Structure 1
Amino acid sequence: MVFHLDNTLGAAFIGVVVAAGLHGVSCVQAWWYYTHQNDRWPLKLLVAAVMVFDTVHQGLISHTLYTYLVTNYDNPIELSQIVWSLLVEVLFNGLTALLVQSFLTVRIWRLSNRNSWLTGAALILVLGEFVIVTSRFALYSTWWAPAYVALSLQLQTFAELTELKSLSITVNSLAAAGDVLIAATLCKLLHSSRTGFHRSDTMIRKLMMWAVNTGLITSICAIASLISITVAGNTFIYILFFFCMGRLYCNSLLATLNARNSIRGAADGVHTTSENLSLSLREFQPKNTTLSISSKRPNISIKIDTTQEFNRDADDVLSEAEEKFWI
């Protein structure tokens, strides 16, 4: 099998550099999260686990490129061999995607009032992707994942790695489908939660925007990897995108969690107070007689109380939607 360095190791090198930059962004976001957010311990544990898996993955792909470009520099024979870290990194990329997509699936579960059909559809895609990723361990090791991690895989060369092309296509297809389904479902559920009040609807629109953005970025990367492996399966262009998948999941999770204060602030900036309403009603009162003014006051009072009640209802709906969305 003939390799051209530009579209093989060159593409992988670009992937490692971009992934390293995104990892730096996720580290800053993680620091901001732990210093500015006061979440319950399960959510903090989720962020910690995602960061650990993401950091390990960055170390593994860096080891892969160091082995090829430094340790085995000017050694063409070794360049055709698979470094163990290139295989192990797939597991940690899969774990990162599993945690983030599971977190989003729990959002669907809560926002849909435990709708098993909506949640089940998303869960099938999420678990299906992870099972296929780990199926490489079953196919090429004797003791499932532990044996794989123990470097007992039978894959030795990149020529043998091309045998997994169908699995790679399936993984990227499920990843893209899962992200699109989760984002679309969240938007549909949030849209149905609208109250008609400007303040609550403002926040719901913000939440919908974040749901679309988090799913769109990872979906584009998965689709790019899918197209690359289908059109140019003998190159490492698809690996460039795959190296960045975990970083995008990690950054999407952290960006969403850290954006809560700004989203709440956007909603809090929209007020409909009873004071402003009472002033506008006075403008419609007749000013030529005292009797007409006094006769209208009870009606004004009733309208103000009704508006206050509606505002309280909108706040209740807003708080409920916010709690379910953020968990």
Structure 2
Amino acid sequence: MADGGPAAIDNTMGASLIGVICAGVLYGVSCVQTWYYFDRYPKDVWYIKALVGTIWVFDSIHQCLISHTVYHYVITNYHNPAILGNMVWSILLEVLFNGFIGLLVQGFLTLRVWRLSNHNVPLLISIVALVLAEFACSLVFTIQSMQLITWAQLSQLKGLSMSVNILAAVTDALIAGALCFFLQRSRTGFKKSDTMISKLIMFTVSTGVLTSICAIASLVSIILWGQTLIYVAFYFSLGRLYSNSVLATLNARQAIRQLGEDSEDLSFSMHPTFLKTTAARQLNSNITTNISIKIDTSHQYDPDLTHLDRQPDSATTENSY
């Protein structure tokens, strides 16, 4: 958080306004994505729907809080420059809701790492520790900052501000790196499944890099311009990038699934069993014989990554080759 006086705050209130505008645009995108999700995937399991709904609620609260912050300084107290030296409660509370959004999104992605890595316990513990540490720092910062009055006093918590951004960047990079590693290791050598894996890797990198860059930009701003509010132009948008990344991931399932399987009976799942099954089907499709072969194929279904009406343990298909 900034630790300057009224002059420093006044000179950089424009950065806060830019941050609110950028966050507002991203909030509009997340609203559209939320509507698209509930319209397109009505048969998803309840806890994924609850995740999306909760993220949208926290997103909305966060947008209201940062909008109130700028309105308080720029509109309500336009002719009262003395108020610029004091903090308004909304800019402190928004840190907590940013933390809630990060906790939900990173927790969801951690679950994906857990499944794709075939239950790698040491990796899971490392990521969970980072996720919880980031949220704990956000919580402690909010509690302690609420007891302060002026921006100058807030300089006492600069270490916590930096810790939140450092942990966010490291956690996002680790999750994205782990997903890319296990996806790359799952390549089968068959064009269709490898194309799907390449798309997944590109998608994972793009979403993980955006949040990491935003957290790093916020951190650098705190270090270099700690007496201003320049950092909030990035931090206000961080939560929105988190929500849009998980919504984009959920909404892209149908398109990515079609890259790996034309049949409606096979669900998209980031799991090695699915990738091997896809490769096996491709191999069978290239074999030409005059006999009828019955293929019993086991599928690993991931309920939070599919919206199919039925989720059988196995599917039996009969094809002539």
TM-score range normalised by the length of the shorter chain: 0.7 to 0.9
Aligned to 1:252: 245
Residue 31 of structure 1 pairs with residue 10 of structure 2 = no
C-alpha separation in 2, matches of 1:7 and 1:277? 71
Q: Deviations over 1:91-115 (max 9, x none)?
A: 1110000000000111111112221
Structure 1 distance, partners of 2:283, 2:179, is: 30
| SS of structure 2 residue aligned to 1:74 | coil
After the TM superposition, which segments of 4 or more aligned residues of structure 1 sit over 4 Å from their partners? 4-7, 269-277
User: Do the aligned partners of residues 275 and 230 (structure 1) sit closer, same or farther apart at CA in structure 2, a change above 3 Å counting?
Assistant: closer
Code of the residue aligned with 1:266 in structure 2: it is L
- The AA in structure 1 aligned to 2:140 is S
RMSD: 2.4
- Whether 1:323 aligns to 2:293 is no
Give the structure 1 partner of residue 144 of structure 2: 139
TM-score (norm 2): 0.82
Q: How far apart, CA to CA, are the structure 2 residues paired with 1:96 and 1:274?
A: 44
> What count of residue pairs does the alignment treat as equivalent?
284
Q: Report percent identity of matched pairs.
A: 50
Tell me by how many angstroms 1:3 deviates.
Answer: 2.1
Shift of 1:193: 2.0
Larger Rg: 1
1:114 paired to 2:119: yes
Distance 1:273 1:106, change over 3 A: closer
Q: Which runs of 5+ in 1 are unaligned?
A: 141-152, 279-299
Contact 2:95 2:142 (8 Å CA) reproduced: no
Distance 2:129 2:15 in 1: 32
Which of residues 45, 55, 63 is equivalent to 1:40? Answer: 45
User: Contact conserved, 2:96 with 2:138, CA < 8 A, in 1?
Assistant: yes
Query: Are 2:92 and 1:81 equivalent residues in the alignment?
Result: no
2:157 maps to 1:164: yes
| 1:154 Cα offset (Å) | 2.2
Q: CA deviation at 1:200?
A: 2.0
Alignment correspondent of 2:200: 207
Indicate how the Cα distance of structure 1 residues 276 and 177 shifts in structure 2: closer, same or farther if over 3 A, else same: closer
Matching of residues 289-308 of structure 1 within 5 Å? none
CA distance in 2, matches of 1:274, 1:126: 43
Structure 1 residue 161: Cα displacement: 1.5
Q: Does structure 1 conserve the Cα–Cα contact (< 8 Å) formed by 2:6 and 2:82?
A: no
Instruction: Looking at secondary structure, tell me which structure has more strand per residue.
Output: 2
Residues 107 and 324 of structure 1 are in contact (CA less than 8 Å); yes or no, is this contact kept in structure 2?
no
> Could you list the per-position Cα deviations for residues 238-279 of structure 1 after superposition, in whole angstroms to 9, with x for gaps in the alignment?
11111001100000010111011111122236984867653x
Shift in Å, 1:44: 0.3
Equivalent in 14, 18, 34 of residue 18 of structure 2: 14
Q: Would the alpha carbon gap of residues 136 and 53 (structure 1) be closer, same or farther in structure 2, given more than 3 Å must change?
A: same
The alignment partner of 1:101 has SS state of helix
Using a 3 Å threshold, how does the CA distance of structure 1 residues 182 and 324 change in structure 2: closer, same or farther?
farther
Residue type at the aligned position of 1:326: L
Check 1:17–1:259 CA distance in 2 against 1; reply closer, same or farther (3 A cut).
Answer: same
Report the 3-state secondary structure (helix = DSSP H, G, I; strand = E; otherwise coil) of the residue aligned with 1:8.
helix
Asked if 1:222 is matched to 2:215, the reply is yes
Question: Which has more helix, going by share of residues?
Answer: 1
Distance 1:118 1:203 in 2: 25
2: distance between equivalents of 1:186 and 1:113? 12
Question: Which 10-residue stretch deviates more, 129-138 or 267-276?
Answer: 267-276
Structure 1 residue 214 displacement after superposition: 1.4
Which residue identity is paired with 2:7? F
Separation of aligned partners in 2, 1:59 and 1:72 = 18
Moved more, 15-24 or 129-138: 129-138
Offset from partner CA, 1:72-103 (integer Å, 9 cap, x none)? 11211111110111111111110000000000
Q: What residue number does 1:261 align with? A: 254
Q: 1: CA distance between counterparts of 2:185 and 2:11?
A: 47
Q: 1:139 to 1:32 in 2, by over 3 A?
A: same
Tell me, what secondary structure is at the counterpart of 2:189?
coil
Cα pair 2:45 2:304 within 8 Å, conserved: no
Residues of 2 paired with 1:7 and 1:180: CA distance? Answer: 33
- 1:98 equivalent in structure 2: 103
Q: CA–CA distance in 1 between the matches of 2:285 and 2:167?
A: 53
